[in-house]
Amino acid sequence: MKITNKTSTELILSKKNGLNPFLFIWSIFFTGIPLIVLISTFSALGVITINCERIEPKLVNCTLNRSGFGGFFPQNKESLNNVIEAQFQQIEEKDSDGATTFDNKVILLSKNGKNLAIQELMFINGVRGNAKEMRQVSQEISNFLNSNESLFVIEIDNRWRWANLFIFCFISIFILIGGTVFMMTILEIGYETIVFDKVSRQLKFEKVNLLGKKKDNISLNEVNGIVLKELTDSDNDRYYLLFISTKNNHEKYQLDRAFQADKLESNGREIANFLDVKLVKKNL
């Protein structure tokens, strides 16, 4: 806090609580990057519907409908006519880090040599598509092709798999932490004022921010000193705090914080002289 006004009977300290650039940028990245990952993951979750219709005994047409964003939005529609075979494929490859990946999918083949891939959009832990599920889909389509049934419909729903739910919960923790820091950074914008009034013998404290207004009054008779304290942070860096100390030795209001004691000591001594109390140094 800075001394903004001083007379023989009144001393006013004030401080503007602006936007903390470090916390603001940190919270943007800590929230934004996981949020992008979450949206990207969510966009790949949905339902793949394969609809096959027998037009003639030896003529089967199949349509693939894909939905994303949790199944709420249709993404694309593909079709393949004159389907004659369904094959399960598992492609094993090495990614850029040398880890093995598995791509599980079903390929529909037609008489004219065209094909249609039934596959999921997203790799999870190096695997795309459930091998067991894709084998089952391939087998059921093959059974339909070799039967006399007229209509076949099957769905692949990847929305409620444990791996996807775990990813959502894990990423949501980062978004919650970053979002909380972001909101507190914004909500703390405001100002603080302390008025030492010798006429009314009152210390008047006021803090205003987006959360509201906080006021507090204590008698100047309760103030028995100004405390300058040295502390050490987690990196073993020294910093200094300036407090008001009351008669019960409670450090009630933090007046200032700095990495150099000289400036705090100068302000603290001026406040102490005005109140006719001592400047107490702790850990110095």
Query: pLDDT tens digit string along 141-156?
Result: 999 999 989 999 999 8
Q: Name the more confident of 87 and 261.
A: 87
Report DSSP state, residue 8.
S
Instruction: Determine the Cα–Cα distance for residues 147 and 237; give it in Å rounded to an integer.
Output: 77
pLDDT tops 90 at residue 188: no
Structure tokens at 230: 């040295």
Mean pLDDT of 179-208: 90
Structure tokens at 254: 């933090």
Contact 250/222 with Cβ under 8 angstroms?
A: no
pLDDT at 167: 82
pLDDT at 63: 94
Categorize the per-residue pLDDT at 249 as very low, low, confident or very high, splitting at 50, 70 and 90.
Answer: low
Segment among 14-18, 107-111, 246-250 with least mean pLDDT: 246-250
For residue range 20-40, what is the model confidence (pLDDT) as tens digits? 888 889 888 888 899 998 888
Q: What is the pTM of this model?
A: 0.59
CA of 140: how far to CAs of 22, 111, 165, in Å?
57, 19, 28
pLDDT at 44: 81
For residue range 214-233, what is the model confidence (pLDDT) as tens digits? 898 889 988 888 989 888 88
Contact 34/175 with Cβ under 8 angstroms?
A: yes
pLDDT at 153: 93
Structure tokens at 180: 């909380």
Mean pLDDT of 161-174: 84
The total of other beta-carbon atoms located within 10 Å of residue 130's CB is 17
Going through the chain in order, the beta strands assigned E by DSSP cover 2-6, 10-17, 47-56, 59-68, 73-80, 83-94, 100-110, 115-118, 127-128, 151-157, 190-197, 202-209, 212-219, 223-232, 238-246, 251-258, 278-282
Sign of CA dihedral 266, 270, 271, 272: positive
Hunting for tokens 């949206």 — which residue is that?
A: 39
pLDDT tops 80 at residue 251: no
pLDDT tops 90 at residue 109: yes
Mean pLDDT of 128-135: 90
pLDDT at 82: 92
Q: 116 forms bridges with which residues in the sheet? A: 108
Mean pLDDT of 76-105: 89
pLDDT at 284: 59
